[in-house]
Amino acid sequence: LGYLGYVSYIFEPSKNEANSELNQSQYYFNLALNELNSPAVSDSLFLIALEGGEGRYGFLDIISNYSGTPAAEIAEYSAGMIYIKLKKYEEAISYLEKFDSNDVLLSSIAFGSIADSYLNLNKPKISLEYYEKALSLNSNSFSNPKYLFKADVISNSLNLNQKALSYFKRIV
């Protein structure tokens, strides 16, 4: 009865409230992604999506106030992606590593984004490990070709010739 009460009276209302808050942050995130002409405007929109605006929570508030909900998981992913756009790679890694989803494509993209962040921090060995994690989740035609190519280039630069050759063969 205690569990049923918790789910019915605490978790479900909290989950619904988190989803409502997520919509506004997601709106600003999408506006920022579509703002091609002005980097300053897109950066401002990304910050509003992260920190909130117009009396609504941002992704960071959703993460801290609605932990454990699906909305908080999406907020972690989105916050990580925003930090990549803002070139704050360590923060991006921090949020994307916390992201956990059953969606293999989204999880694969999260690992690939972590790998990209490590590459931008000039840590190619760690980057290669995360590309390999992204590739191991599933074989899709959306993200895998890109990650195979990046893993091949990094392997080549690290003189891991056999590994580079195996990635090249998979690309072919």
pLDDT tens digits, 41-65: 888 999 999 999 878 899 999 999 9
Mean pLDDT lowest among 2-6, 14-18, 67-71: 2-6
Q: What is the 3-state secondary structure (H, E, C) of the chain?
A: CHHHHHHHHHHHHHHHHHHHHHHHHHHHHHHHHHCCCCHHHHHHHHHHHHHCECCECCHHHHHHHCCCCHHHHHHHHHHHHHHHHCCCHHHHHHHHHHCCCCCHHHHHHHHHHHHHHHHHCCCHHHHHHHHHHHHHHCCCCCCHHHHHHHHHHHHHHCCCHHHHHHHHHHHC
pLDDT of residue 88: 97
Tell the burial category of 1 from Cβ atoms under 10 Å away from its Cβ (0-12, 13-18, 19+): exposed
- Residue 2: the pLDDT is 63
Reported as a pLDDT band with limits 50, 70 and 90, residue 95 is very high
For residues 142 and 38, give the distance between their C-alpha atoms in angstroms, rounded to a whole number: 28
Residue 122 pLDDT grade (very low, low, confident, very high; cuts 50, 70, 90) = very high
Q: Output the pTM of the full model.
A: 0.87
